[in-house]
Amino acid sequence: MTTFFNEMYEAGATRAPYRQLDAWLEAMPAELRSLKQAEAENLFRRIGITFAVYGEGGDPERLMPFDMFPRVFAQPEWRRLEHGVVQRAKALNLFLSDIYNRGEIVRAGIVPRELVYCNAAFETAVVGFTPPQGVFSHIVGVDLVRTGPDEFFVLEDNCRTPSGVSYMLENREIMMRMFPSLFRENRIAPVDSYPVLLRRTLASVAPKKCTGEPTIAILTPGAYNSAYYEHSFLADLMGVELVEGQDLFVDGEFVWMRTTEGPRKVDVIYRRVDDAFIDPLCFRADSMLGVPGLMDVYRSGGVTICSAPGAGVADDKAIYCFVPDMIRFYLGEEPILNNVPTWQCNKRDDLKYVLENLGELVVKEVHGSGGYGMLVGPKSTKDQIAAFRERIIANPGNYIAQPTLALSTCPTFVGEGVAPRHVDLRPYCLVGDKVTLVPGGLTRVAMNEGSLVVNSSQGGGVKDTWVLAE
Amino acid sequence: MLSRTAANLYWLARYMERAETAARLLEVGERMSLMPNTEGNRNEWEPLLQAAGTYAGFKHKYGDAVQRNVESFMFFDRDNPSSVATCIAGARENGRVVRTALTTQVWDALNTAFQELKALERTARSELPLTTLTEWTLRHTAQVRGAIDATLLRNDGYDFLNLGYFLERADNTARLMDVKYFVLLPRVEFVGSGLDNYQWTTLLRALSAHRAFHWAYGGEVTAGKIAHFLILNQQCPRSLRTCIEGATTHLERLSRGYSKSTAAQTKVRKLYGELAELSVDDVFDEGLHDFLTRFIREVATVGAVVHEVYLSGDIR
């Protein structure tokens, strides 16, 4: 029987960061709790904080389940995480800069050539190009899990357009509105500087042809995208335009927005559109979401695209295994945050081990996301395991496997009261001329008892994440 | 401001105003159908569809202009681009795309109208008398308009919204007056009769201007006074002159804000200048119907120029 680290209780006592919450929990009768829960849901619905789930029928504009019980970090715990995440974000960017230029890490034999150059996310269009400040991935979302008081593991890196940061901000807003006394009694570090920091980060990577205050825009696929709420929310908070491809055009050396006062030059585009769709002249010709000619302007230094096309090579689950080596190679440091031990099915010995131990492992597709296309061995039936075995044998290079981690749990309000549920954490690291992190992140929680899958598409919810000030 | 954002705001306003007119037209139709029928086969509903410019579309789909069909067509039918349902859904969709340019209160008012519309569409028609539908529409269009006036920042977005409202309203008042023309056309000797006055009064009621008219002109109702009221009176909120004055104001605000005047300002100033010079006699000399037809065309031209210089984003 696996025992799970409980974020709040250790050896029958309440851990220090959670002490104030004891009294709060005590003073919360069931009626008040359901009242507050309804209030929170009403707020989410009125503000319009929804996410879309495709292809499953039902309401396409779903509410994200929100749990009112916060997840808390003491300052020293957070410091360590912060350093670890910053270190990782720096190494990932150095890696990207390297593989699109000299490729030293490949020549040194540390990362296999084919994993980089045969990678579907590798973008030949940016080979030999170095973006402003050498930054390819400007917003790095690092998914972390905890297994003990001092044991954190990185599950995966998100170097393209990690989403969910609007939940981090809105969860905090809603908690402050509903439980102001909690914020009076605890010293909780604010996260609301995130949009200011994001704006500053984007401005710091303005292209070399930009003179004066850079104009920033967020590029969205449109109102039907599942993360549209987040796109408009960030545009609002940063005071920048939210544009669609049709609002932009290329003329001469620059990209322009169509405005009521005529064309206006755009210097930095925070795009929430995938590589394949940003420029039909360079990538998918059938796409209407992008801007014809955008890549030419990008490569000639007329506009900065965040994240850079091709940044996806670094958050691949196969490349993930090499991040600790990257940290040693580029920074000459020991990794602060560990990887989860990972077996790569394209290696013969690893494959053998994985096939023999499928029942205990979590197997993931290299390019999968959102909790789809994975096998959680201990939670699967014999038939499911057998079916997955076939898929792995047919295409071993497409799979990696990890041990089932004893994910920490956090008290969570459930139907019958308060019960432990598994959580993970995604902090958002901003990379520009500086590398910064707000004290907090998105805690995702598996609302179903025993479930280890926290993705929103799989019934996961969210919690406010507190970092206590010193 | 992005041209697309401005276009969405402009159309949001036009759709709301158009929904309101559809409801007002239905009200005119019903009141006219309640008066004693002196003409034998006269049908009150056809002129209404003619004035709305949708008679052909209606005829093709429904055939005879009986009340129930006209109600379906003008309130519920999503195939009719001017029906209340089409317009409210269109306004809400435009609003959803530019959520960031609207206050929560405006969005709330829009979204509530849309959600209630969906409930109405599921309600048995026997439970929805015409007055319920028209009152429902007027209440919600007023709520959206009120939220805009009470909460929205007075920036260029506000000007584009108002431009949409005023141009649509100018067009719609002209069309409502034209109903009168289509009804009266067959028999010129009715002019000045009790029937004639009843029709004019009905028109005023539909514009919620029945009492306002009496305050402004005293008791007697004549075609000349009503034409003056609806075309030239600056106190009447829906008169053609008030609407064009409003459109001019907001276009002037835009040109000051952008430090740049365009063909849109030139066009609207010319139209306003013409209205300001006009007398009721001039209108009747030209012929009311001909005047209204020409006016509707002029307003459409202003709309086209606004689209070209501000909303398309193609002017370099």
Whole-number Å distance between alpha carbons of B120 and A132: 56
**Tokens linked to B160:** 């584009």
For residue A414, give the amino acid letter: V
Tell me what pLDDT residue B41 has: 47
**Tokens linked to A209:** 């042809």
Whole-number Å distance between alpha carbons of B66 and A408: 69
Tell me what pLDDT residue A30 has: 84
Quick one: which H or E segment has residue A234? helix A228-238
Nearest to A116 by CA among A133, A103, A102: A103
* Domain boundary assignment for chain A: 9-207+303-336+405-467, 341-403
Q: Tell me whether the omega of the peptide bond preceding residue A307 falls within 30 degrees of 0, making it cis.
A: yes
Cα separation values, A269 from A252, A302, B103, Å:
17, 11, 26
Residue A32 backbone dihedrals phi, psi, to 5 degrees: -65, -40
User: For testing the chain A interface, which of B2, B10, B316 should be mutated: the one with the most A CBs within 10 Å?
Assistant: B2
Nearest to A412 by CA among A366, A451, A458: A451
For residue A396, give the amino acid letter: P
Nearest to A441 by CA among A423, A421, A426: A426
Q: Predicted confidence band at B100 (pLDDT cuts at 50, 70, 90)?
A: confident
Q: Which of A10-14, B57-61, B304-308 has the highest mean pLDDT?
A: B304-308
| Predicted complex ipTM | 0.82
For residue A27, give the amino acid letter: A
Whole-number Å distance between alpha carbons of A147 and A338: 12
At B205-246, the pLDDT tens digits run 878 888 888 888 887 778 888 889 999 999 999 999 999 999
For residue A40, give the amino acid letter: A
- Neighbour-count burial for A374-405, b at 16+ CB within 10 Å, e otherwise: bbbbeebeeeeeeebeeebeeebbbbbbbeeb
Tell me what pLDDT residue B297 has: 97
Q: CB of B45 within 8 A of CB of B39? A: no
Closest chain B residue by Cα to residue A217: B2
Mean pLDDT over B129-136 rounds to 94
* Alpha helices in A327-468, H assignment, sequence order: 348-356, 382-394
Q: Is the pLDDT of residue B316 over 60?
A: no
Quick one: which H or E segment has residue A365? strand A361-365
Instruction: Per-residue pLDDT tens, chain A, 470 aa: give them.
Output: 467 899 999 888 999 999 989 889 888 888 888 888 888 888 877 666 666 554 444 455 677 889 999 999 999 999 999 999 999 999 999 999 999 999 999 999 999 999 999 998 999 999 999 999 999 999 999 999 999 998 999 999 999 999 999 999 999 999 999 999 999 988 999 999 999 999 999 999 999 999 999 999 999 999 888 888 899 999 999 999 999 999 999 999 999 999 999 999 999 999 999 988 888 888 877 777 889 999 999 999 999 999 999 999 999 888 999 999 999 999 999 999 999 999 988 889 999 999 999 988 989 888 765 556 788 888 888 999 999 899 999 988 888 899 988 889 999 998 778 899 999 999 999 999 999 999 999 999 998 888 877 877 677 899 999 999 87
Cα diameter, chain B? 61
Closest chain A residue by Cα to residue B311: A260
Tell me what pLDDT residue A59 has: 52
User: For testing the chain A interface, which of B4, B159, B311 should be mutated: the one with the most A CBs within 10 Å?
Assistant: B4
Helical pair A194-204 and A165-178, crossing angle rounded to 10 deg: 150
A422 beta partners: A409
Q: Predicted confidence band at B144 (pLDDT cuts at 50, 70, 90)?
A: very high
Cα distance from A39 to chain B (closest Cα, Å)? Answer: 17
- The residue assigned the tokens 């990887």 is A339
Nearest to B180 by CA among B48, B36, B3, B294: B48
Tell me what pLDDT residue B162 has: 98
Q: Is the pLDDT of residue B187 over 70?
A: no
Instruction: Flag if B313 and A258 touch (Cβ within 8 Å).
Output: yes
On chain A, the residues whose CB falls within 8 A of the CB of B7 are: none
Tell me what pLDDT residue A409 has: 93
For residue A101, give the amino acid letter: N
Fold classification of A341-403 is Dna Ligase; domain 1 (3.30.1490)
A-proximal residues of B, 106-145, CB under 8 Å: 107-108
Nearest to A75 by CA among A153, A188, A182: A188
